[in-house]
Structures are given as C-alpha cells and as structure tokens.
Structure 1
C-alpha cells in the first residue's frame, strides 16, 4: 500500500470485515483488480472508485480523505 486511496480502501474494507472476495462480489470489481489497487500496482478509474465506495457504503470522497478513528 503506497497511496492514500490504496490505504483507505484497505482500511475501510478491513473495518467492515470484508474479504477481497466479498468486496469483489458486492462491487462487481475483480478480486485481482482490488488487490492491485490496495497494493498500489494499479490506479482505479472514477467508475471503479464509485463501485467500491458504494459496496463499502461510503461516499467516494472517503477513499481520498478517510482518517480511521
């Protein structure tokens, strides 16, 4: 995890106790793509960010600015 989006995606997913597999099912984004985003190997499109945010039940903005409690 190298960037803000990568880190925030990981934290939000773990806080919700979601596996990459479950997030993939909820979002329609492949497991490998989620893994690559979390590991900073791939930059997500706006569409991908929106799908992931919806599956995590957060506004897309949180993927850029989320600060864990």
Structure 2
C-alpha cells in the first residue's frame, strides 16, 4: 500500500474539522431551539398551575392518599 502524502493528510484533517463543525452547529442549533421552545411553553404552564393551586387554596375536605 502506498502511504499518503503529508499535504493530503493535512487536507483531510482540515476537511474533517470543517464537516465536524457544520454537524456540531446543526445539532446544537436544534437542541437550543428545542430548549427555547420547551421553556417558552413550560413557564406559562407552570405559572398557570401555580395560580390555579393558589386560587383554589388548601382544602381540608379533600381526601389525600399517601
């Protein structure tokens, strides 16, 4: 087998870094978008649940199962 030249090895490493950075950018962009969407949805839901529990107040006639 013929050994590849040093220039070819350098170009392959640069290409690998280039492709890796593109893939990493896409993956992190998707994760960031999903996290932003989850926070945008979950914060209002959490506030609504908290408000409903605050308005309804503690009820003594409710049965609690432990």
TM over 0.5: no
- Quick check: which one's helix share is greater? 2
* TM-score between both structures, scaled by the size of structure 1: 0.22
RCO higher in structure (CA 8 A, sep ≥6) = 1
